[in-house]
Amino acid sequence: MMNQLAHSTCEDYLTVRRVIELISNNWKEQPELDELAGAVGSTPTQLQKTFTRWAGLSPKAFLQAVTLDHAKRLLSSGLPLLDASYELGLSGPGRLHDLFVTHEAMSPGTYKAKGEGLQISCGFHDCQFGKALVLATDRGLAGLAFCDPGGEEETFEDMRARWPNANYAMQPEITSKYAERIFDLENWKSDKPLRIVLIGTDFEIKVWEGLLEIPFGSAATYSDLATKIGRKNAPRAVGRAVGRNPVSFVVPCHRVVGKSGDLTGYHWGITRKRAMLGWETGMVAA
């Protein structure tokens, strides 16, 4: 199963992205495979293969996993939430993720100085969620963002605005090693953890640390997260901090949903959020 990730490509994601949009807009009609294939200029067989290679499950199962309606039903029928996950003996991909990622917070001075004196290597890499912009320092992964082909400049400027005084260098030969580890589950190894550095306010870092404790394949509400970090009366502030998470996917802000189960806004696109949750569901179910 994990070997399938090596075959994930940006081209696959573009096809999957369009199909997810169709599913999201037409889930009540439960479109058939041949309808979806025709809409994206593919054959049913080709689309079946692409989806299976990309997500580890069939298009029909993926439709069930990623539509908004299904997300609501999962939550109402017992999808593990943050407050419950700490009571469970975690195993499999969720526990593996916990062990794989280690983190440290950059000094408050670096954040206040807007990154002054910080050297950041950057690079764009294809992944199963489109184009990934990886930002790294000599202390570890500092940023991870996403875009579709053609949106690279806008995405880079978005990330650079977070720490405008840092020194940036396009060095994909350096960032490629991070991309290889992040997007291939075969490289998620507890004896060789991925080191990340968090650059933000003390409150933001506390929220981001809470995100790291949401298990792979699960979801939490903003209220759950706020309660867990001791700020139960500040879910909106927590939501803003979630939205400012600079290390998407690795620090899993995509696993936070609205109180009713709605897949609320995601900085890199709600379709991409659905894709991430659906992909994780596929990895757990496979």
Active site residues: 253
Distance CA 142, CA 151 (A): 20
Please tell me the distance from the alpha carbon of residue 87 to that of residue 91, in angstroms, as a whole number. Answer: 13
Bridge partners for 134 per DSSP: 123, 144
CB 135 within 8 Å of CB 159: yes
Q: Could you tell me whether strands 140-147 and 130-137 are parallel, antiparallel, or unpaired per DSSP bridges?
A: antiparallel
Q: Which residue has the tokens 């867990």?
A: 228
> Which positions ≥6 away from 22 have C-beta within 8 Å?
31, 36, 39, 40
